[in-house]
Amino acid sequence: MNWIFLVIGGLFEVGFASCLGKAKETSGTESIAWLVGFFICLSASMFLLYLATKTLPIGTAYAVWTGIGAVGTVLVGIFFFNEPASFWRILFISTLIVSIIGLKFVSN
C-alpha cells in the first residue's frame, strides 16, 4: 500500500509543478486559481510521501517520489508546454525511469 501512496504522491508532485507552470503563464484571478491548485497538490504530495515513509526507507521513498515528479514534469512540459523532446532528454529520462524501477526491486 505504501508504494501506491508513493506513486500517487509523485503524481501530485507533477500536479504542483504543472500548476506552477500554468500560474506563471496567466495573470489575475486565473493565476490565483492555479496557485491554489499548486498548494493543494503540494499538500497532498507531501502527506502521501509522509505516509509512504512510515514503512519504506526514506532514501528510497524520496528518490522514487522525486523521480516520478521529474519524469512526469518533463513529460507534461513536452506535451503541454511545448518544451523540446530531444534525443538526449528522452535518453536521460529513460535512464531515470529504469533507476526508479530498480529502486523498487531492491527495496524491502
Burial of 10 per CB tally in 10 Å (0-12, 13-18, 19+)? buried
pTM of the model: 0.86
Q: Which pLDDT belongs to residue 108?
A: 65
Percentage of the chain lying above the pLDDT 70 cut:
99
- pLDDT tens, 10-33? 999 999 999 999 999 999 999 999
- pLDDT tens, 33-61? 999 999 999 999 999 999 999 999 999 89
Domain that holds residue 35: 2-106
Number of domains in the chain: 1
- What average pLDDT score do residues 85-96 get? 94
- What average pLDDT score do residues 67-87 get? 93
Q: What are phi and psi of 44, to 5 degrees?
A: -65, -40
